[in-house]
Amino acid sequence: MAIPRAAKTLRRTRIQEEKEEQILEAALDVFSARGFRGSTIDQIAEVAGMSKPNLLYYFRTKEAMHRALIDRVLYTWLEPLRAFDAEGNPEEEIRSYIRRKLEMARDFPRESRLFANEVLQGAPHIEDELKGPLKQLVDEKAEVIRAWAKSGKIAECDPYHLIFSIWSTTQHYADFDVQVRAVLGQEHAGDGRFEDAARFLEQLFIGGLRPDTPAT
């Protein structure tokens, strides 16, 4: 007879490792495309290629699946902001932050949409992460930006809204991909739009933050 699932974590077998991986991969597919409430366990099971009860053997509830997925993805997702370096050259730091975020929008759109869905619907499952770790990280980086402005390396500006702007402009290409494609038309079906976006956003942010720019 199977051990009660509460004791399952004592030792992790190879199969556990593999199946949980499979499941979370499928869950990312489904949750990112339909949101938590719009997703069903059956859909995830089908994508994962296993039966629903089998899925529920590894994650006892839909919520547990979602939480495990969020936990797993969140750390990676904040990596670019964490890499933001106080010692570096401001212009270059901002430029590479934009580039990194755009690359993530291009290469990990599901992760972007997972969070977008969650935040858009009131962040019922990640409120703590937003108010805790995320806020702390942003506070820290905002201080860096503020110091750059103070020392005249970039224009005086609100660092929080600067960060929000970089988030929104870059993630837009993942979250609103359908709309971007629809507006740009068929000819931008490839990844060219990401290079165009990178060029434009660098121009915008570097130009907009140039120290001699008088605050309006």
Partner DNA sequence: CGGATATTTGACCGATTGGTAAACATTACA
Partner DNA sequence: TGTAATGTTTACCAATCGGTCAAATATCCG
Residues near its own copies (CB under 8 A):
33-38, 113, 116-117, 119-123, 127, 130-131, 134-135, 138, 155, 157-158, 160-162, 164-165, 167-169, 171-173, 175-176, 178-180, 182-185, 196-197, 199-210, 213, 215-216
Helix%, strand%, coil% for the chain, nearest 5: 75, 0, 25
Kindly state the smallest distance separating residue 77's Cβ from its own copies, in Å: 12
Question: How far is Cα 127 from Cα 118, in angstroms, rounded to an integer?
Answer: 10
Q: Give the 3-state secondary structure of residue 51.
A: coil
Q: CA 19 from chain center: how many Å?
A: 24
What does 2 bind: its own copies, DNA, none (CB cut-off 5 to 8 Å by kind)?
DNA
Question: How far is Cα 111 from Cα 73, in angstroms, rounded to an integer?
Answer: 7
Q: How many helices (H) and strands (E) does the chain have?
A: 12, 0
Q: Which is nearer to its own copies, 26 or 81 (CB)?
A: 81
What does 6 bind: its own copies, DNA, none (CB cut-off 5 to 8 Å by kind)?
none
The structure tokens listed for 184 are: 């740009």
Residues in contact with DNA by CB under 7 A are 1-3, 8, 10-11, 13-16, 19, 39-43, 50-54, 56-57, 60-63
